Amino acid sequence: MTTGNPVMSDSEWMAAFRQRAVSRRVPISGILELTSRCNLKCVHCYLGPQEEQRKKRDLEMSTEQALGVIDQVVASGCLYLVITGGDPMVRKDFPQVYRYAREKGLIVTVFCDGILVNDRIVRLFQELPPFNVDISVYGATAETYEAVTRIKGSFPRFLRGIERLAEGGVPFSLKTVLMTVNRHELEGMRQIAADRGVKFRVDSAIFPCLPTQDHEPLDLRVEPEEAVELELSDADHLQQWVDYADARKGAPAEEHLYNCGAGVTNFYVDPLGYASPCLMTTNYRYPLAERGFAGLWADELVQLRSKKPRDGYTCNSCEVKVACTGCPAFNYQENGHEDIKSEYVCETTRHRYAAIEAARGGKAAAVARRMARRRAVRGQSAGTT
């Protein structure tokens, strides 16, 4: 028997669901940063020196406060929650907070470095499976990995952590931040993921230190053309960009500064109990203790949506914006102004758009191979492996 109504595919249903959430401004997706403390001291970290983060330990939300935040966001309609840090497993109450979020019905992703994953954590994840455990990898050898983390012995501990997850059947994926100090091991990092049958992604975005506005991490950026060659030498990733660009081709220019999900469906709560529209909008930060999440969501967290750029801001009408990963919050972190673009992001976007255009018509694999060859030649001329 048929009702005469077409059955939606999963992707169609999800698109419709998200559109309803946007139209009703429901905070369905959020990030809860339990701590800025970490077991590593990565050279590129935007959170600042760990010595400074440890001084804030007594200011972090208590377990009860963190659980209270979960109650509040669930009551407001949250469905997806990322629990992150630092490394959230630095906190002894991580299992309690994670369990509470899952038992509240949230679909939880955990961001971590994998090093603190022990048998107890694996058993917890087996009992209450996460949507994903998203793990950062910084090199394919101990030499490179530990040059980034600045912690001796961290690489074998990372490998043990992901092996525990793999053996326990816990869903996880790997990601890396592309830097001058690890770019030569990108393929090796991809292989670590491939050997375990998990997804891998790469990002060339590096930001200044948020607390101090120190720009030293930007010295680790890979030159835009090479960054795109490395990023898109994977044919599947390049095809994803082609599909993404095709889906958004012809979209009208926006008049407002922020055109993402920040303050519409997305939110962020920091370790000290302050809420922001997203992780990067640190200049919009409000204490939950004063008005609660619902009050802030109704008022303060939506205010950035009405902001308009100054005259001369070209990003909203840019012909290659479908290939851009930048945003006003990134601009602010880099140069102190939301409506002054990052030249690095802009140049990277132009190279990425050129690759997307070249890959149209089912040519992603050929373009990816060409990029890989160019990268190999570049590496040989630079004396890298």
Residue 172 sits in a domain whose CATH number is: 3.20.20.70
Paired sense of beta strands 107-112 and 80-84, if any: parallel
φ/ψ of residue 330, rounded to 5: -60, -45
Q: Which CA distances in Å does 76 have to 12, 258, 271, 289?
A: 24, 22, 20, 16
Residue range(s) defining the domain that contains residue 189 = 27-382
pLDDT at 66: 98
Domain-located, residue 1: no
Predicted confidence pLDDT, tens digits, the chain (385 residues):
445 566 788 888 888 988 999 999 999 999 999 999 999 999 999 877 766 677 777 899 999 999 999 999 999 999 999 999 999 999 999 999 999 999 999 999 999 999 999 999 999 999 999 999 999 999 999 999 999 999 999 999 999 999 999 999 999 999 999 999 999 999 999 999 999 999 999 999 898 887 667 788 999 999 999 999 999 989 999 999 999 999 888 888 889 999 999 999 999 999 999 999 999 898 899 999 989 999 999 999 999 999 999 888 999 999 999 999 999 999 998 888 999 999 999 999 999 999 999 998 777 788 788 877 776 766 655 554 4
Virtual torsion, Cα 374, 377, 382, 385, nearest 10 deg:
100
Domain-located, residue 15: no
pLDDT at 307: 93
Domain-located, residue 10: no
Domain count, the chain: 1
Determine contact, residues 202/326, Cβ cutoff 8 Å. Answer: no
Q: What is the edge-to-edge ordering of all strands in the sheet holding 200-203?
A: 200-203, 172-177, 132-136, 107-112, 80-84, 29-33, 266-269, 274-276, 286-287
Nearest residue to 35 (alpha-carbon basis) of 77, 63, 76, 73: 63
Cα radius of gyration rounded to whole Å, the chain: 21
pLDDT at 385: 43
Determine contact, residues 239/364, Cβ cutoff 8 Å. Answer: yes
pLDDT at 365: 80
Q: Please tell me the total number of residues recorded for the chain in this structure.
A: 385
The DSSP symbol for 112 reads E
Domain-located, residue 20: no
pLDDT at 225: 95
Domain-located, residue 5: no
pLDDT at 248: 86
pLDDT at 377: 67
Determine contact, residues 42/207, Cβ cutoff 8 Å. Answer: no
**Alpha carbon distance 163, 159 (integer Å):** 6
Determine contact, residues 199/173, Cβ cutoff 8 Å. Answer: yes
Domain-located, residue 169: yes
Residue for token digits 């090479």?
226
Domain-located, residue 2: no
Q: Whole-model pTM?
A: 0.92
Domain-located, residue 42: yes
Report the alpha-carbon angle 26-132-34, nearest 5. 65
pLDDT at 355: 94
